[in-house]
């Protein structure tokens, strides 16, 4: 006879953390980041999940999704995920609802692993012991000294052999400065480290091709969102015109999105805090593998590390400055990227414990 472990009513909270310096990319500027946290208890274990989204996502989670999973069996994550997907039918899966669903799904996977007293990577089944990472930041608001310090810390300090900076400043209106900053980045990291750029959809199609050909002279091998990720035809055109890999996918909120995008990119980026949690992240990775493509996780490195170790077609995990800073502040058990890899096998579940008291000053919900 099946032994059920019913889910208690999940707890939801949100915290807004000031940036350590003004930040911007090609198409957006910000000075705070909000993390919405879901804590799900069943039996004698509690799982934690999170997403980076407005605090209003916490209210949506409470109203629409918490009732959908309350009382379900904590071991049957596909049933809980399906219940949440159905619950947001009229709300709309993309956007806020997708973020809310994702946080709860991540918490459910952490909970199940803790109930079974396993590291999450063992519950899912490892494909590798180490997960490659790349340092990600280099905001357009950084002056050259700040940029150099950040890149130096990753490449020469922590020995991370791949880094990414933001370009496309002002919706592509500062292309000369973009190229200058790429030149500075290459000088700082040296000839051996991999150099990536992210335009956040700031360029037009032809502009992206022109800039991309100049970037190739500096060994840029990864061009993220050279045009809007909604412009799938444009992504494909830029990809076919350049030698570097063209990538996108961070704004995917469901599996059909990735099915549409796959023909247009060289590597698929998938964000478990948006796409529907680890359940949908693993499905997206399988979909990419079926088309001969690798996946790279976007943002929230500690939410991805275990699942990333469990897919054969992983390229790497993004060690994103904002999220690394917050996750290191908020959780005990944060991982160490020294040497350019993560080893997500410590403790049970995803290995992180929320420092509730220490972060109360940032709480907004």
- Token pair listed for 112: 């199940």
How many Cα neighbours within 13 Å face the side chain of 23? 17
Tabulate helix, strand, coil % of the chain (nearest 5). 40, 25, 35
* Phi, psi at 322, each rounded to 5°: -60, -50
Q: What is the pTM of this model?
A: 0.97
Q: What is the pLDDT of residue 346?
A: 81
Residues in the chain: 365
pLDDT (tens place) for every residue of the chain, 365 residues total: 467 899 999 999 999 999 999 999 999 999 999 999 999 999 999 999 999 999 999 999 999 999 999 999 999 999 999 999 999 999 999 999 999 999 999 999 999 999 999 999 999 999 999 999 999 999 999 999 999 999 999 999 999 999 999 999 999 999 999 999 999 999 999 999 999 999 999 999 999 999 999 999 999 999 999 999 999 999 999 999 999 999 999 999 999 999 999 999 999 999 999 999 999 999 999 999 999 999 999 999 999 999 999 999 999 999 999 999 999 999 999 999 999 999 998 899 999 999 999 999 999 99
Q: Where are the alpha helices (DSSP H) in 217-254?
A: 232-241
The whole-angstrom separation of Cα 93 and Cα 310 is 26
Instruction: List the domains of the chain with CATH numbers.
Output: 6-117+355-362 (3.30.390.10), 122-354 (3.20.20.120)
Write 203-209 long-range contacts (CB < 8 A, 24+).
203/26, 203/168, 203/172, 203/175, 203/227, 204/172, 205/231, 205/234, 205/237, 205/238, 207/172, 207/175, 208/234, 208/238, 209/237, 209/238, 209/241, 209/242
Q: Which helix (H) or strand (E) holds 22?
A: strand 11-24
* Closest by CA position to 162, among listed 129, 209, 197: 197
* Closest by CA position to 295, among listed 306, 283, 25: 283
Please, what sign has the CA dihedral across residues 347, 349, 351, 353?
A: negative
* Closest by CA position to 107, among listed 42, 57, 40, 34: 40
Q: CA separation (Å) from 315 to 128, 131, 194, 363? A: 12, 9, 13, 35
């Amino acid at each position: 006879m099946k032994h059920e472990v019913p889910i208690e009513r999940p707890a939801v909270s949100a915290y807004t953390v000031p940036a350590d310096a003004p930040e911007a990319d090609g198409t957006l500027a910000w000075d705070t980041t909000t993390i919405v946290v879901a804590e799900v208890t069943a039996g004698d274990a509690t799982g934690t999940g999170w997403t980076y989204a407005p605090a209003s996502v916490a209210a949506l989670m409470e109203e629409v999704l918490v009732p959908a999973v309350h009382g379900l069996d904590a071991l049957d994550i596909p049933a809980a995920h399906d219940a949440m997907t159905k619950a947001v039918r009229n709300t709309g899966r993309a956007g806020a609802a997708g973020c809310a669903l994702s946080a709860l799904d991540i918490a459910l996977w952490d909970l199940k692993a803790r109930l079974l007293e396993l590291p999450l990577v063992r519950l899912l089944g490892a494909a590798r012991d180490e997960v490659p990472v790349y340092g990600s930041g280099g905001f357009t608001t950084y002056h050259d000294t700040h940029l150099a310090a950040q890149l130096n810390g990753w490449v020469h300090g922590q020995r991370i052999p791949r880094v990414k900076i933001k370009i496309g400043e002002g919706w592509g209106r500062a292309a000369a400065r973009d190229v200058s900053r790429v030149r500075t980045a290459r000088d700082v990291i040296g000839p051996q480290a991999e150099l990536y750029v992210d335009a956040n959809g700031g360029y037009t199609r032809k502009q992206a091709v022109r800039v991309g050909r100049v970037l190739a002279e500096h060994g840029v091998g990864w061009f993220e969102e050279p045009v809007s990720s909604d412009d799938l035809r444009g992504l494909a055109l830029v990809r076919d015109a350049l030698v570097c890999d063209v990538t996108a996918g961070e704004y995917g909120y469901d599996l059909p999105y990735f099915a549409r995008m796959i023909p247009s990119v060289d590597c698929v980026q998938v964000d478990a805090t948006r796409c529907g949690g680890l359940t949908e992240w693993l499905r997206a990775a399988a979909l990419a593998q079926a088309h001969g493509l690798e996946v790279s996780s976007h943002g929230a490195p500690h939410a991805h590390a275990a699942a990333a170790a469990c897919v054969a077609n992983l390229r790497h995990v993004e060690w994103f400055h904002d999220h690394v800073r917050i996750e290191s502040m908020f959780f005990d058990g944060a991982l160490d990227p020294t040497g350019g890899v993560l080893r997500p096998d410590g403790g049970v579940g995803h290995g992180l414990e929320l420092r509730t008291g220490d972060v109360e000053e940032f709480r907004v919900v």
